[in-house]
């Protein structure tokens, strides 16, 4: 399971595995940077930003880090998020009249709409001023009939039929 996620590190020539601080995992309630305050909503995904070596030393990835797509699908749109850009990818999986999507957040990307394969490069990490370098990944069920124009963080956080799932339990 985590092997697939560690592939992204291997492709960036980093041999250590990912490390997740409290607050970076799915459904965590607090921020993991700054004031460590409560999030506005429980974390809708996983933040990838740190690795741990065999001596237990934790390192932050660099801004030049390449982000690769985990699961094949179709790029539907990119939007601005509060740090960089978010990429919405629709997968060929349906359940209860909903489709499965991946959303990558805080990227710098010039990816265009259309098919995207597993482990295709989709961008680098956005420059940020006060937040440690990381990218966000969500896996989410979204109604099949949603108008793509409506797709943004606000709409999917308010639509009751949308369901975020834990990527580490699904992939």
Which spans of this chain sit near Zn ion (rule: CB under 5 A)?
47, 136
Reduced to 3 states, what is the DSSP secondary structure of residue 51? strand
Q: How far is the CB of 118 from Zn ion (least distance, A)?
A: 22
> Cβ closer to Zn ion: 103 or 142?
103
Q: How far is the CB of 41 from Zn ion (least distance, A)?
A: 11
Closest chain position to Zn ion (CB):
136
Q: How far is the CB of 97 from Zn ion (least distance, A)?
A: 27
Written as six digits, the tokens of 10 are: 């291997």
> Cβ closer to Zn ion: 47 or 85?
47
> Cβ closer to Zn ion: 47 or 146?
47
Rounded CA-CA distance 124/141 in Å is: 25
Which segments within 25-84 are labelled E, that is strand?
Answer: 46-48, 50-52, 58-60, 66-68, 73-80
Q: What is the total residue count of the chain? A: 171
Q: How far is the CB of 146 from Zn ion (least distance, A)?
A: 22
- Give 143-146 contacts, CB < 8 A, sequence gap 24+: 143/97, 143/98, 143/99, 144/94, 144/97, 144/98, 144/99, 145/97
> Cβ closer to Zn ion: 16 or 28?
28
């Amino acid at each position: 399971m985590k092997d697939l996620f560690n592939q992204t590190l291997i492709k960036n020539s980093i041999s250590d595995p990912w490390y997740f601080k409290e607050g970076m995992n799915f459904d965590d309630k607090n921020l993991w940077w700054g004031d460590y305050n409560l999030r506005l909503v429980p974390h809708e995904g996983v933040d990838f930003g740190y690795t741990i070596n065999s001596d237990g030393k934790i390192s932050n990835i660099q801004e030049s880090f390449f982000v690769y797509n985990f699961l094949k699908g179709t790029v539907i749109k990119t939007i601005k998020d509060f740090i960089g850009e978010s990429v919405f990818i629709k997968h060929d999986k349906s359940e209860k009249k909903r489709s499965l999507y991946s959303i990558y957040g805080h990227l710098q990307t010039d990816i265009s709409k259309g098919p995207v394969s597993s482990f295709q490069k989709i961008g680098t990490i956005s420059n940020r001023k006060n937040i440690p370098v990381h990218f966000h990944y969500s896996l989410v069920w979204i109604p099949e009939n949603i108008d793509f124009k409506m797709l943004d963080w606000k709409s999917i956080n308010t639509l009751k039929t949308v369901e975020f799932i834990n990527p580490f339990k699904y992939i």
